């Protein structure tokens, strides 16, 4: 599990660096408007792809652990289920923040 987190952290850092370098390159002095738009779209796509993949993996792991916990202690299922829903809300919020950042990259920067 720890190696998966490290691998994901490295992938996330590389994707963030790539998207920021795309935006930085696109805003160079010799870049045309079409090139700027293209690189911003690539950066936004990378942001959304990484956030969606991370969210899907996180949600799957959360649900997997919740089902395992309910199977072990059926009497605590309501508490486990409510904690799971709260966790899923936080994961989905992070994905929505990534969407907002991608929209800002495309339209504001």
Q: Can you tell me whether residue 1 is helix, strand or coil?
A: coil
Q: What is the mean pLDDT of the chain?
A: 81
Q: What stretch of H or E contains 64? A: helix 33-72
Q: Where are the domains of the chain?
A: 2-107
For the chain, which ranges sit under pLDDT 50? 29
**What pLDDT, on the 0 to 100 scale, is given for residue 102?**
83
CATH topology of domain 2-107: F1FO ATP Synthase (1.20.20)
pLDDT attached to residue 83: 92
Predicted local confidence at residue 46, as pLDDT: 81
State residue 71's pLDDT score. Answer: 93
Q: What is the pLDDT of residue 25?
A: 66
User: Residue for token digits 């599990």?
Assistant: 1
For residue 31, the model assigns a pLDDT of 59
Its sign, for the CA torsion 96, 102, 105, 106, is: negative
**The two structure tokens encoding residue 63:** 């649900």
SS3 state of residue 67: helix
């Amino acid at each position: 599990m720890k190696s998966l987190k490290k691998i994901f952290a490295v992938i996330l850092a590389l994707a963030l660096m790539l998207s920021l370098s795309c935006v930085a390159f696109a805003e160079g002095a010799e870049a045309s408007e079409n090139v700027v738009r293209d690189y911003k779209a690539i950066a936004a796509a990378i942001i959304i792809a990484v956030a969606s993949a991370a969210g899907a993996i996180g949600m799957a792991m959360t649900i997997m652990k919740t089902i395992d916990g309910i199977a072990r202690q059926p009497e605590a299922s309501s508490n486990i289920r409510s904690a799971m829903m709260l966790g899923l809300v936080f994961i989905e919020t992070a994905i929505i923040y990534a969407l907002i950042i991608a929209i800002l990259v495309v339209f504001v920067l």
